[in-house]
Structure 1
Amino acid sequence: MNRPIQTTLAIAPMMDWTDRHCRFFHRQLTRRALLYTEMVVADAVIHGARERLLGFDDAEHPVALQLGGSDPRKLAEAAAIGEAFGYDEINLNVGCPSDRVQSGTFGACLMKTPVLVAQCVAAMKAAVNIPVTAKCRIGVDDQDPEPALDTLADGVLAAGADALWVHARKAWLEGLSPKENRDIPPLDYPRVYRLKARKPNEFIGINGGIQSLEEASAHLAYVDGAMLGRAAYHTPGILTGVDAAFYGEPSVAFDYAALIEAMSGYAARHIEKGGRLGHVTRHMVGLFHGLPGARRYRQILSTDANKPGAGPEVLKAAFAAIDFAAEVEAA
């Protein structure tokens, strides 16, 4: 295995959310958490605009590329391209329930073809020298999660996968929308714990419904890694505690002024290349959740940042709305 068994905190791959701007932002909040891209389809990597699809800032390391596909040859080629771009890990999506993914016969529907998933992982492993991992559900539709997850995990790990991340819910490909699939199927954390108990020498990580660093830490009594999804996106301020809580680094007061300076400089560079401020700031709206002035901060980013010609000064104006002194007095 390329990845040692260790306590790991990761930010989940999230379609339309964890783009390069989101990842750069999250990296300012935690130096150590493993970041994941949105899922990128293997065909797009091979035939599409690679810099647009795969480009990222060096500051994002460690960062993993998540691929979607079901053709071992294409996935191997796309994995090699990702490695050449500098990614630290390649991850195979075996869990996304969206209609677009189903029509391409990959994502969660691959849970029904575990032999093919193992073949995909083996091909990717043979093509790269960096870790290859997979992310799956505990089952799909009417599958019994006990044998379904074991069969998938046994095949993937035997094929050489360096880690398996498990979203602890079923995916219902019939009858539920992608959004409903994130909430309606019940969470079954013990099922993932049982998988880890069967695979004590393999890296098993858990994902799904984890709302806080405290919850993530509690899971680590049973598995090797915890993956935050929507909680990291909607309340990114929680990420400032990751390095101290999970990687033994000193607990110090976070420098939000330095963060805003870093993001302002990043936004300016993006705008110079033809981008818009809103591309960056849309990921930052929840940063000051619960602090005095957060509502005004959100208003500025949601309106002024999306106006034509908006520049980094808008981000700085939004930051000025936060009343840190009031927060200190309340404490």
Structure 2
Amino acid sequence: MRSTRRLTVPAAAAGLLLVLAACGDPGSGGGSADPTAADAGGGTVCEPVAGDQLVVLDDDQGLQNADNIIPAVNAAAAAADPALVPLLDGVSAALDTDKLIQLNKAVDIDRQTSTEAAEQFVADESLAADDASVGAGKSVVIGAANFSESATLSEIYAAVLRSAGYTAEVQTIGNRETYLPALQSGQITLTPEYAATLAEFLNTQANGPDAEPVASGDPDATVAALTTLGADADLTFGAVSAAQDQNAFAVTSAFAEEHDVSTLSDLATACDGGVVLAGPAECPERPFCQIGLEETYGITVSEFASYDFGLIGDAVRSGEASIGLVLSSDGSLAS
């Protein structure tokens, strides 16, 4: 799994990780396959449909692991301060994938700072604490990985905690291999995390690189496994949010309308003769990419086009591919 994450375009930081583990590093290609692939096996070949707006098709059979955002907290700090985690849970309750997309758009595309986007989110969602004295005299350090989404989430946590009277500092600490030991030791108090990625990171730490996976497409089961592993790693967790940043597959809204598809299962039915898939070079060999589409959904990939990760969305928009691998929280998905 990835050591942190990121494959968003300006924020391609902190390890890229589910996509790294799932679909490999971004391919070095830039070429595209002929989008008018002939149907080799009968059925309807759904050729690309150009359009400005991308939409993510619902992963209705749970191909991808549940990388829901969840606050990870030093266990000793949480035990010593019972007010801490409930404040973070308020953020989780307010956050979903659409709102995360908008936050990423604000920072990565509209060029707000993470602090500005966080403060606006806290105001819009009325997340300020009711009791401005609960954290008086208490200090917390929030560790952010070195990509913009993590920085923005960290600033949201900080703004909520400051509204409760805490002295809250955000420190950018780097990738998971760097910040997790700091979190476990108490050098930092808490950090935004990703349920499936962290669960597998802790799983391989505890049980070796060949450990049976514990993460799945089920957020509840994944968080249960994460909680168990965290207890042995001096970590505790707040409530899991509905917001997910994980591998996803997108088509243009024009394609979705033309073929009446909103899920990957719909795509398999409507385009039973094949689609042109855009992804990083390793996608055809990865279980969360082309192999997963074929084996989990029965989708026929009539042609594959290799692109650097940051160019995949543009390839789909321009009509060079029917469907492409993206991240579910990418700011460019904002409507």
The structure whose RCO (Cα within 8 Å, separation 6+) is larger is 2
Q: Which has the higher helix share?
A: 1
